[in-house]
Amino acid sequence: MKNNDLLDANLVEAVSTETTSYLSTSTANKLTRVTHTVWNRVRPDKISIFLASLFLFILAIMLMKEGARGLTFLVRDTFAVTNPFNSLGFGWLFAYVIMSGSPVAAVALTFLDAGVIDKLGAFTMITGSRLGASFIVLFIGFIYVLRGRNRVSSLSMGLLSLTVTGTTYLVGLLIGLGLLQIGIFDSLQFRSGAALNSVTDMIFDPIVATFTTYLPLWALFVIGLGLIMLSFNLFDRCLPQMTIKESQFGRVSRLVYRPWVMFLMGAGVTFISMSVSISLSILIPLSNRGFVRRENVIPYIMGANITTFVDTLLASVLLNNPSAFTIVLVEMISITLVSIVILTAGYHRYERAMLDFVAWVTARKQNLALFMTIIFVVPIILVLV
């Protein structure tokens, strides 16, 4: 009997040891696979691209800061940007031309720093840049239509992006202008610090001085604008390439029905990518593949429209201009307030109004043509006011 007990004990110990060994090996294999996946996502070449994009971004801000003074005659005399309405339309059209809002927002801050426009002008120009930036989503929708996709589903996301951005930003514009007039946030500043200033001055001042020696000021601004667009392009390339499988998306599909979850998701994706164009543009293929519906993405768009100011906030810190930081902060606060009120007080009514309007625009080609005419004519009128 004792021998049998001893045999059973040895058998249990052997099985236990083998199981522990198997589990340890399995866990180690899983950790190896996870580490390998993370390493593939964040490769050294992507880190190098990120550092290059950061370097070009800072250099671009410094060049545009120095060159903005050379464009005073062009902005004030040729384009007649002399009041908040002009700057709103100017930023709107500028974003159309370069198909991006972040560079235009950075331009607004450098214009402010150079004294080309005042605080209200910079604030409305940044707002205009965000209105113009949402056109890129509609433009991508048109590309999908040309590729033979369904016109309604392809254009709806772009139209919804434009409509939600327009309604929230225009209300936020009124709130922001009031906050700037009161000056409630003027004392709230983020100091870049002497260490950061000394490092950036030591690295970038000699480069900017070299450009200044051989080129006119307006050329510095143009080069800076080109570099900042290149920096955003490089940053897009260093982001991990994520693939969405139906099985993976199915696990979180329940979350798209929760407005606050989608709000935070939109804010998070845009914070990581630092590009509202990227975070909103991915909605079009997701919609075409049936992963998301129009009514689920309205909070996502709201969240994206807040954290899209992260790069602009960084630009204001690099300029070391208190007014520039206040303007960007007020932009973020006013849009956040509008979004929170909508989500908590009247989200379903707002959702229904947005969806009904998009449905009306896509119902007939004449309606779509009228909408397109309006979004191009309005900023032109504002510039001419």
Does any domain span residue 353? yes
Does residue 231 lie in a domain region?
yes
Residue 161 domain-assigned (yes or no): yes
How is residue 186 annotated by DSSP?
A: T
Q: Each residue of 194-232: pLDDT tens digit?
A: 555 666 777 888 888 888 888 888 888 889 888 877 887
Judge whether residue 168 has pLDDT over 90.
Answer: yes
Q: Which two tokens stand for residue 260?
A: 């606050």
Q: How far are the Cα atoms of 125, 218, 306 from residue 107, in angstroms, in the given order?
A: 9, 13, 19
Residue 32 lies in a domain: no
Residues 150, 98: Cα–Cα separation, whole Å: 27
Distance in angstroms between the alpha carbons of the first and the last residue of the chain:
103
Query: b or e along 332-351 (b: 16 or more beta carbons within 10 Å of the residue's beta carbon)?
Result: bbbbbbbbeebbeeebeebb
Residue 303: give the domain boundaries: 48-384
* Least confident residue range of 26-40, 152-166, 232-246, 347-361: 26-40
- Closest listed residue to residue 309, CA positions, set 50, 54, 101, 107: 101
**73: nearest Cα among 16, 22, 111:** 111
Q: Please, which pLDDT band fits residue 268 given cuts at 50, 70 and 90?
A: confident
For residue 25, being part of any structural domain is answered with: no
Residue 297 within any structural domain of the chain: yes
Average pLDDT over the chain, rounded to whole? 77
CB 132 within 8 A of CB 92: yes
| AA letter at 304 | A
Contacts of 192 (CB under 8 A, 6+ apart): 317, 318, 320
Can you tell me which residue has the tokens 């236990």?
Answer: 16
Q: Is residue 317 in a domain?
A: yes
Question: Domain total for the chain?
Answer: 1
Please indicate, yes or no, whether the overall pTM of this predicted structure exceeds 0.85: no
